[in-house]
Structure formats: C-alpha cells, structure tokens
Chain A
Amino acid sequence: MSLDVDYDTLIPNNVGLSSDRRVLKALEKWHPGYISWWNDLIPQQFQQSPVYLRTAVSVDPKGWAKFDYVKMPEYRWGVLLAPQVDDRRIPCGEHAGEAAWQEVPGEYRAMLRRLIVIQGDTEPASVEQQRHLGLTAPSLYDMRNLFQVNVEEGRHLWAMVYLLHKYFGADGRDEADDLLRRSSGSEEAPRMLGAFNESTPDWLSFFMFTYFTDRDGKMQLESLAQSGFDPLSRTCRFMLTEEAHHMFVGETGVGRVIERTCEAMKAAGIDDPYDVKRIRDLGVIDLPTIQKKLNLHYTLSLDLFGQEVSTNAANAFNSGIKGRYMESRIADDHRLSDATYPVWTLVDGKLTRQDAPALTAINMRLRDDYTRDAAGGVGRWNKIIEKAGIKFELTLPHEAFHRQIGVFSGRHFGPTGEALSAEAYAAGAKDWLPSKADGDFIQSLMKPCFEPGKYAGWIAPPKVGIDNKPGDFEYVQLHMA
C-alpha cells in the first residue's frame, strides 16, 4: 500500500490495481459507461473548456491539492484510500476492540453492501441535479467551484464502485451498474433518497444544497469513516477531505449572496429587510427569501437522517459497521449496552424529548450533531448582516417543521415548533417556504457572467481566490465553439 497515487493504469489509484487483475478488469469494463454518463450529462461547451481544478497526487496530506487546468472528461478519476492505520481496532459495538476487518465479514455482507450502495447513489445524483447550473454561473470562479464539486462527486462514485467490485463479487458488479442506471428525478429509475430527486434549479439552491445536504453527506461519511470494515473507513476518510470543499462552496456561497444583498440595501438606503419589493428591484435576493430557502433545504436534509428511533441504525452500530460522529473522542463504553439518549416524541400532542435506548437513537444523535454543525455557518452569516447594521437574523427552523420522515411527519408544525392545524399551516407556509413566485424571481437573476474577475449583481466576490489566485484569474478558459 502506497501513499502515492499510481498513474500507470487507466484508473489512478493507491490500492495496487495493476497487480489485481480481476478488479482492474472489472473497473475497466465499468469505465466506459461512466465516461458516457459524464459526457451525456455536462453541456459540451464546458466539457471542452480547461478548468482550474484540484487533483490529489498523493493521499498524504502534503500531496493532496495540486491545481492545474484540465478538461473535465480528461480528469483522472481515481481510487484513493487514506493510509492504513497500524493495528486499527473496531471502534464500537459488540466487536469493539477486535482487529478491524480487512475483508467483508460474512454475517454483515448484506448490510454493508446496502450502506455502500446508498452512499454511492447520492454521488452521481448530485451531479445530475446540478447539470444545468454551468450555463447560468454568476462568475468563472463559481463555475469552477461547481465543476470541482462535480468531478469530486464523480470520484466519490468511483470510490464506492471500487468497494463494490473489490469486495462484493457479482452482486457488487450489478449494484455498480445500477448506480449508472438510476437517474435523479427519473420516473422509472429514480435515485434512492428523496432529496436527491429534487432539482437544483438555481445557484442559491446549489449553495444551500452544498451547505445543508452535502453536510448530511459529511455526517454519513464521518460515521462510515468509523467503520470496522477498514477499506470502507479508509475510503470515507479520504472522501471527507474532498467533502470539505463542498461545505466551503455552500457556506461562502450563501454568505456572498447575503453580503451583496446587505451592501445593495445600504447603498439604496433601505433599512427594512421586509421591504421585499424595493429590495428585489435592486436585483438582489431579499433576506426573508434566503430564510425560506434555508428552511427548505435544512428540513429536506434532516429527512435524510431517517427515523429517530431505528433498529437498522442500532444493528449497524452494534455490528461495528457504522460508528457515531467522532466515535473515538466520545468517552463511553462504545457499546451502548445500557446508555440512553433523549429523543423527540409526541406526548398528548406535545413535543418533548424522552430518553430512549441510545443504541436505537443513533440516527437522532447524528442528526443533533448535524444541527450543531450546521448552526455554525448560520452564525457566520448573521455576522455579515450585523456588520451591515441590518436588523435581521437567520435561524434554523425547529426540527419538527416541514418534515416527511420520522416522528414529525404527517403533522403540522411551524418554524418554531408549535403544533398547527392544517389550515393554519397552509396559511403560514407562504411565509416559511419558497413559493413558485420566489423561485421565479431567483430564476430571473440567473444570468451568466463569464468575464474573468466579474460577478453577477446578486452575489459578492469571494474574499480569497482559489489557490491564492488574483481576483481576475480565469478559472475556466471557456471553449468558444
């Protein structure tokens, strides 16, 4: 096992593919389908444009970020695993303390395969959801960030496909093929999770998606990085460093939209953030609409964590397949034989937290970790608003609001968690969630801005360039056919 990436084979890797003929052949057979999926997806003019992308040349952190121009179809998607930790132990569950598995343990084969397939399915899905955004990019900088996110999601698909081919035989190969057969929003073969069949119609949605939904991905990867199945753990650990870039695109993207709105309001002498019409006439997105988008994407992402109380999650933890967020830093027995965890429940129609066996509350705990993590960026966004002297505060809505999965589904709650009648909810919804008219307004701002160093009027430039590049750097050398 090497830290360095082998570029000898068609598929760059640090897993010794050139001496693993069976897997190499299987992956080479899968490769054309992948390339044609990619080529059909992204508009041709972008496929032929050199994009300033980051590629890992080593999984050692020092070799992790090399920047250069590359045409996306020529991007070397590879199979990269974080370095093996000597004498790694299974961190949790009934096998805690035993040596980590280097091969799939027979009794957990089905469970592992399913987890890998679900994770793998989200990766190409988001590329599909974002496929048209390049055409309306607010700058070459943002276009480059979009494509970086896209190629890395593509690489994450590769990572999961490698595990399927390497460890799951014929079943794994079938599953890998299905990952290319399903398609986001498709009637016949949709992606597996709901949030990944929603479209990403505009750039604010994209930023919200990368902030909130990719953050769910981050939490899932964090728990899989704790897996007792070592190849999965190592794969996810390396993916997490890439996922950090997606968090960055989301957090700074939303922040720049807010910054531009505040700046335009100040310049026009508008103090009232609810003076929506006048603010929109400035060609920027009003803060209440940004709050609505936040409400939507946050709650859709909460649904991705599944049922609050779940035996599947308990089994995955107990068998050592999936850990908790930062498992190694939690000071307990890592088995949860007697522990409890407070879980949302409804008692006489009232929301309350009640202790449940911690083992079955794994999803609830991860969702709480997620909410804490997501709150950090909201705090930063509010600092931008505060600095501009505008009286407005973005908040995460209550977890009960607008939910389709779990204890809150099928009932009506407002953004502060108050139980509502169906009528009251319907009446309030237009103030809480983006309407069609809100979407149309945002869409009307989505005009491309492709001149180096220039930004569309609804978004502020970034504070720092990618790879320390100056403001007018040509992040994408657009191919003019």
Chain B
Amino acid sequence: MGEFVKQHVIDPEICIRCHACEAACAIGAIEHDDVNVVVKADVCNECMSCIPVCPTGSIDNWRLVATPYTLADQYGWSELPPATAPATAPEATDATVAALIADAHGGTARAPASASKPTINLYPPSKPIEAVVQGNYRLTAETADSDVRHIVLNFEGRPFPVLEGQSLGVLAPGLDWLRLYSVASPRDGERPGFHNVAITVKRSGACSNYLCDLKKGDRVRIAGPFGATFLTPDDPDARLLMICTGTGAAPFRGFTMRRQRQPKGSGDMMLVFGARTPDALPYFGPLAKVPDNVLRKLFAFSRVAGAPKQYVQDRLMDEAPEIAERLADPRTHIYVCGLRGMEAGVEQAFVSIAESVGLSWEALRETLRAEGRYHVETY
C-alpha cells in the first residue's frame, strides 16, 4: 500500500458558499465556482486560518488519501466522498510542535465528538505573546523531594483562548526551543471570566527551573495554544475516567473545574492519581475537598513507609468491576496523562479488566480511539 497524505476538503452539502474561508486564506489555497468551494491540495499548508471564520463547520473536513482529489473532482461533488481512512484536523501548525504533540499522544488521535473547537497557534513560536506571572505557588510540601509549582499567567486582557487539555509553549530566555506545558485551568480562567491560565511545572530541567524561579510580575514569552484532540467532551452526560501521575494531573484539574462550572448532567468523573507520597501529589489538598460524588478519587502511593508500593494500575485492578462497567459504557471517555512509563502498566490493567468481562482491550481501544474516547498524553 502506498503512502497516504492528509487532504483538507470542504463538505459541499453544508457549505453555503459565503467565501469567508477564501478571504481568510493568506496563500490563495481556496477558490470557488458558482456551485462549490474547493481547496488546492498542493497549496494548503494547514495553517487553520479558514477554520474559525466558517459559519457552517463545512470547512473542517480532512481525508487521508493515496492521491489527493483534484480541483475538478471537488467541483463535481454534491456530497463528500466516503472517507476510506480516518483523518483529523492538525494539533499544531508548526511542524516541530506538531511532532512533539504527536509523540506525546502516541500517534494520531481524535477529539471527543462533543468537544468545543480549539484555537491553535494563535501565537506561533516566532510571534509569541508576553504573559505576566500572577502567582507562583509550590504545590508539594517543602519536605517532599519534588518541587512542583502552580504558575498563573495573566495575558493582560489580550486573548489567549484555551480549552482544558490544550498546551502552551514556553520560550525561556537562552533556550533554543520551546517546551510544552498542559493548561491546568478551565477555559474561562482560574476564576470564571478572568481568562488567566495556570500551568503545573515540576522543577526538572532548564526551562522548568526558569519557570519555577519566576516571581510575581515577571514577564514570560508564551506560544500557542496547541493541541486539538486531548480535550474534554462538552456533553455533561459523558463519563470521565482520568488516570495520571505527577504533573499529569494538570489537564484533569482543568477538566474537573470545567465540569463544576457547567450545567450538571448524568456523567460522573473518576480520577486515578499516582505519586510517590501524599505530600508529593500536586493539588492533593484542593482535590481532597472535591466531594466524592462529584469526583471519585483513587490515590496510589509508591513510597509510603510501611505500606506496600502502589501504582495507578494496582488501583485500577482493585476497582476492576467498576472500571469494567465504565469500559463497556459508550458514554465513557478515558484519559491517560503522565510519565511515559505509566502507559504499559495501565494497558496491562485494561487488558486484564476487559478480559474479565469478555472484551478484547485491543479491539475496544481501537473503537475508543476512533470515537475520540481514548486519549493518551505521556512524556
């Protein structure tokens, strides 16, 4: 089988030929006749400028094809040809950032069906925005061996529209390339309407040292937002199963806060959270205050003196019947976020739990991925 390429196409059944996309395209990749609006496959660079201006959503269609559809093909359509392979909108328009995200997501992923449309690359790495540090708080106890910080950034009224689960890039002075951090706050800000953005940073390298040392009022260069699939469903009936270690909790803080600010639905939330010790677990205090009927919490600690080592997969196995029930529910969305090493253990637990109820995890995972209900972000 030959190489597939991703092609941007427009759904002629939904398009109303307003040509707003054509006007927004800076490189002339879109044109029209009296019937259809079409995209030149060899010109489009997936910059995504045409996506928000489309009033219908017809613009946001992607196909994986062996040979791109010609303009003549597209002019002849009265409906989109059936998709032979799934394709999704890009996560970032910058190749390096896109590669970083693809690596973290373990390949191509799909957003939840009910997720809001993300804005990506509003500020590319070449044209970052300056944010002001509003606060920088240590989340882990002074006695803990890890220094994890909650850093709140203020964009001084300028737009930085993020969705929970997206990332932003930090350009530290003197470093050659940006580092990505998950957004830890909900879309409307730490406090509703304040539109500030929080990130969770563990002191571990040059960029994170720079961030952890920032003082209130310091200015920092930010690119983004990035990421278009690791997003929360907006459907309040969707059930969330969130599994994380360490700073992998950041997006789930955003997910949880978003949920709490939305009209209540029937969907529940479960968080499986692993750390070495309770005092090394970011947001342990605030998390403990969220009632269990809003967010069911399962903690796994691997270095508590006198207690057996527990990892997230062990907690999943402890609650196997409950997890199995969730795996089988088509409303369930699963998220895994944390250090790369956690993925294998979680996979093993899912294989075993699925098997116990007569399901094949491998097949189930494919379905979940295809439906935008299984998301991995590891680093």
In chain B, what residue has the closest Cβ to A383? B78
Of B55, B119, B234, B235, the residue contacting A66 (CB under 8 A) is B119
The residue among B24, B51, B161 with the most chain A CB atoms within 10 A of its own CB is B161
Give A464 to B56 CA distance when docked, in angstroms. Answer: 8
Q: Interface segment, A238-246, A280-288, A303-311, A428-436?
A: A238-246
**B residues in contact with A244, CB < 8 Å:** 16, 18-20, 53-55
**A residues in contact with B57, CB < 8 Å:** 464, 468
Q: How far is the CB of B141 from chain A (nearest CB, A)?
A: 37
Give A134 to B129 CA distance when docked, in angstroms. Answer: 40
Report yes or no: B53 in contact with A463, Cβ–Cβ below 8 A. no
Per the 8 Å Cβ criterion, residues 177-229 of A in contact with B are 218
Q: How far is the CB of A158 from chain B (nearest CB, A)?
A: 19
Query: Is A377 in contact with chain B by the CB < 8 A criterion?
Result: yes
In chain B, what residue has the closest Cβ to A466? B57
Q: Interface segment, A54-62, A110-118, A313-321?
A: A54-62
Report yes or no: A240 in contact with B157, Cβ–Cβ below 8 A. no
Give A66 to B54 CA distance when docked, in angstroms. Answer: 12
In chain A, what residue has the closest Cβ to B25? A61
The residue among B49, B78, B157 with the most chain A CB atoms within 10 A of its own CB is B157
Q: Interface size bucket, B side?
A: 35 or more
Report yes or no: B188 in contact with A68, Cβ–Cβ below 8 A. yes
Q: Interface size bucket, A side?
A: 35 or more
Q: How far is the CB of B190 from chain A (nearest CB, A)?
A: 16
Knowing A57-B161, A372-B34, A474-B263, the reply to whether A63 touches B234 (Cβ < 8 A) is no
In chain B, what residue has the closest Cβ to A470? B114
Report yes or no: B122 in contact with A63, Cβ–Cβ below 8 A. yes
Give A351 to B66 CA distance when docked, in angstroms. Answer: 54
Q: How far is the CB of A413 from chain B (nearest CB, A)?
A: 25
Query: Is A299 in contact with chain B by the CB < 8 A criterion?
Result: no
Query: Is A251 in contact with chain B by the CB < 8 A criterion?
Result: yes
**B residues in contact with A108, CB < 8 Å:** none
Report yes or no: A61 in contact with B49, Cβ–Cβ below 8 A. yes
Query: Is B52 in contact with chain A by the CB < 8 A criterion?
Result: yes
Give A190 to B311 CA distance when docked, in angstroms. Answer: 74
Give A470 to B13 CA distance when docked, in angstroms. Answer: 19
Query: Is B120 in contact with chain A by the CB < 8 A criterion?
Result: yes
Of B34, B119, B157, the residue contacting A8 (CB under 8 A) is B157
Query: Is A5 in contact with chain B by the CB < 8 A criterion?
Result: yes
**B residues in contact with A467, CB < 8 Å:** 116-117
Give A68 to B163 CA distance when docked, in angstroms. Answer: 12
In chain B, what residue has the closest Cβ to A373? B17
Query: Is B113 in contact with chain A by the CB < 8 A criterion?
Result: yes
Q: How far is the CB of A388 from chain B (nearest CB, A)?
A: 15
Query: Is A248 in contact with chain B by the CB < 8 A criterion?
Result: yes
6 nearest A-B residue pairs (beta carbon): A57-B159, A244-B18, A65-B52, A248-B55, A61-B24, A61-B49
> Could you list 10 further interchain pairs (A-B, Cβ under 8 angstroms) beyond the known A8-B157, A66-B161, A377-B16?
A61-B52, A62-B48, A63-B52, A64-B53, A66-B119, A67-B116, A244-B55, A248-B56, A376-B17, A463-B13
B residues engaging A (CB < 8 A)?
13-14, 16-20, 23-24, 34-35, 48-57, 78, 113-117, 119-122, 157-159, 161, 187-188, 234-235, 263
List, sorted by A's number, 6 A–B pairs whose CB atoms are closer than 8 Å.
A61-B53, A63-B122, A64-B52, A241-B23, A470-B114, A473-B234
